[in-house]
Amino acid sequence: MAASDRSVEMSHPESDQKSGVTPVLAARNVSKSYGGVAALSDVTLELLAGEAHALIGENGAGKSTLVKLLGGVLLPDSGLLEVAGEPVVMAGPADARDRGIAVIYQEPTLFPDLTVAENVFIGRQPLRSGRRIDFRAMNRAVNEIFDRLGVRLDPDRIARGLSIAEQQLVEIAKSLSLEAKVVIMDEPTASLSSVEVERLFRVVQTLRSHGTAVLFISHRLEEAFELCQRVTVLRDGTFVMSRELAGLTADDLIRAMVGRDVLARQHSGGAHGQTVLKVDHLTREGVFLDVSFEVAAGEVVALAGLVGAGRTEVARAVFGIDRYDAGTVTVAGRELRRGSPSAAMAAGIALVPEDRRQQGLVMDMSVADNISLASLPNLRRRGLLFAGVERAFARDWATRLQVKYGRMGNPVSSLSGGNQQKVVLAKWLSRRPSVLIVDEPTRGIDIGTKSEVHKLLAELAAQGVAVLVISSELPEVLTLADRILVMREGRLVATLTQAEASEERIIAAGTGQSLDSGDAEVSAK
């Protein structure tokens, strides 16, 4: 069995070298199927005290299912879970929590109207006489936890308006207050800025030093290398390997995940056509200020910068989701009406939004209905819509984008993240836009699909579409863009051509730091 012949070598000081150590949490040969489709088969995972363990695999590889099994949300069809060597049956998430397992999801769901401290202690607030909540004791306890984690957050603050990073910290504090021995983080860094990621990593180190095991799920391999000691790779619901990260390279992991090599896109670098999208002195009070740029036909322009720099907000204003206070948006020489997505669409703009689940898709509608949703008026025959016409249209575009779906009538929520994103792309590309704006087009999708999306965007540009990409992943920005616009605190602060762009330069411009070292490197090359 692949699971049993691993040599377990831990970084934790007090441990044996061989497998005599009892894992704090283990899944042994677990399998799980949904309606006859195996999501996970015969997978084994061991978490040791004090380690950060990376769980990687493409979307659909079974990571989420495994997390749900470990977190007590699902029951395995076969196989065993062990907590500290004892076989257990998790009766539900609460049972898992009581056994010291905390799961922190990508986007935590706090109670927005309660304070940070109340969220940490929800359901078990310390009481004083008269069954009233002892706020002082509660805040003191929460402050202690934050001190231990080395983060600063006001326990009295109302949770509404906390950034996702801060919400995660609240969840981590909660797991600490429950004395969790295992903390499972499901893609915690997907929507964090690099500064927030660093803080999260420091917190994870603190957790480890207290002997907590951390299971870390991420699509960003460099993060796994930076943070984790061991890695488990899943592919198509099966176990590929589980071993120490030291000695492995990113290419090794990618091969293990995908089963093949992934090639990056080559820049066309060709000449561009006429300016299609022109954004002129666009201002929205308190959000972004005096933003001007142009995107030409066949050009890929990236908007880079920290999360919160105003990139998404500019895109939303251009597409008409949000209003703006001053400035103009012009498409092919014609000024757009403000605040009207339908006007933007009529002018040829398409926006693939940041939040796939809330904004990009109607999750409860079918794959076909989602693909055709933005094209319905064009699909009428004699004024009416016919199911056959729509299905053919949706099937055509699903095929073009290589969406993997069961049936056209399945709800889009049944697809993996990468395929959902392809559905969003199909929905917009089927309108044959002249301007395509994509906001974090590959967030939370697997490496294989990611490179497909990159290739697709390059092809669209080659066909003469003006492409505006917003991305927090600098390698992605550097791979895709002909020109990179960097935003900081609502302003456009730098424009870099592909030749002069480097990760250092983008970060420097985005954070407002001096360019010394970055410049030296660039000029040295």
| Angle at 500 (CA atoms; ends 496, 506), nearest 5 degrees | 55
**Footprint (CB under 8 A) of other proteins, residues 294-353:** 321, 340-342, 344-345, 351, 353
* DSSP state letter for 266: P
Any contact of residue 389 with other proteins (CB under 8 A)? Answer: no
The total number of residues shown for the chain amounts to 525
Q: Which is nearer to other proteins, 145 or 350 (CB)?
A: 350
Cα diameter, the chain: 76
Any contact of residue 35 with other proteins (CB under 8 A)? Answer: yes
Any contact of residue 34 with other proteins (CB under 8 A)? Answer: yes
CB of 2 to other proteins, least distance (A): 18
Judged by CB under 8 A, which stretch of 324-332, 384-392, 465-473, 515-523 contacts other proteins? Answer: 384-392
DSSP code per residue over 74-112 = S--SEEEEEETTEEE---SHHHHHHTTEEEE-SS----T
Q: Using CB under 8 A, which of 152, 160, 337, 380 touches other proteins?
A: 380
Any contact of residue 392 with other proteins (CB under 8 A)? Answer: no
Q: How far apart are CA 98 and CA 111, in angstroms?
A: 21
Residue matched to tokens 């199927």 = 33
Any contact of residue 32 with other proteins (CB under 8 A)? Answer: yes
Judged by CB under 8 A, which stretch of 16-24, 69-77, 462-470, 513-521 contacts other proteins? Answer: 69-77
Judged by CB under 8 A, which stretch of 193-201, 354-362, 472-480, 504-512 contacts other proteins? Answer: 354-362
Q: Using CB under 8 A, which of 89, 127, 195, 462 touches other proteins?
A: 89
CA dihedral for 303, 447, 66, 237, sign (positive or negative): positive
Q: Using CB under 8 A, which of 239, 288, 324, 405 touches other proteins?
A: 405
Q: How far apart are CA 315 and CA 295, in angstroms?
A: 13
Identify residue 113 by its one-letter amino acid code.
D
Task: Give the rounded distance of the alpha carbon of 102 from its chain centre.
Answer: 20
Any contact of residue 94 with other proteins (CB under 8 A)? Answer: no
Q: Which is nearer to other proteins, 415 or 492 (CB)?
A: 415
Q: Using CB under 8 A, which of 365, 392, 493, 522 touches other proteins?
A: 365
Any contact of residue 190 with other proteins (CB under 8 A)? Answer: no
Any contact of residue 167 with other proteins (CB under 8 A)? Answer: no
Q: How far apart are CA 275 and CA 280, in angstroms?
A: 13
Strand (E) or helix (H) holding 70:
helix 63-70
Residues in contact with other proteins, shown as a per-residue x/- string from 38 to 67 under the rule CB under 8 A: xx-x-----------------------x--
Strand (E) or helix (H) holding 234:
strand 230-235
Which phi and psi (to 5°) does residue 309 adopt? Answer: -80, -10
Q: Using CB under 8 A, which of 56, 70, 217, 415 touches other proteins?
A: 415
CB of 77 to other proteins, least distance (A): 4
CB of 134 to other proteins, least distance (A): 35
Judged by CB under 8 A, which stretch of 70-78, 151-159, 220-228, 391-399 contacts other proteins? Answer: 70-78
Strand (E) or helix (H) holding 38:
strand 37-47
Q: How many residues bind other proteins (CB under 8 A)?
A: 60
How far CA 324 is from CA of 28, 284, 313, 442, in Å, comes to: 55, 5, 10, 27
Any contact of residue 169 with other proteins (CB under 8 A)? Answer: no
**Footprint (CB under 8 A) of other proteins, residues 425-454:** 427
Residue matched to tokens 């969790």 = 180
Judged by CB under 8 A, which stretch of 73-81, 307-315, 450-458, 513-521 contacts other proteins? Answer: 73-81
Strand partners, 87: 82
Judged by CB under 8 A, which stretch of 306-314, 406-414, 480-488, 496-504 contacts other proteins? Answer: 406-414
DSSP code per residue over 135-152 = HHHHHHHHHHHHHHHT--
How far CA 311 is from CA of 284, 287, 300, in Å, comes to: 12, 10, 15
Q: How far apart are CA 358 and CA 351, in angstroms?
A: 14
Residues sharing a CB contact under 8 Å with residue 13, sequence separation 6 or more, in sequence order: none
- Residues in contact with other proteins by CB under 8 A are 31-39, 41, 65, 68, 73-75, 77-78, 80, 86-89, 91, 321, 340-342, 344-345, 351, 353, 358-366, 369, 373-374, 376-377, 380, 383-386, 405-407, 409-411, 413-415, 427
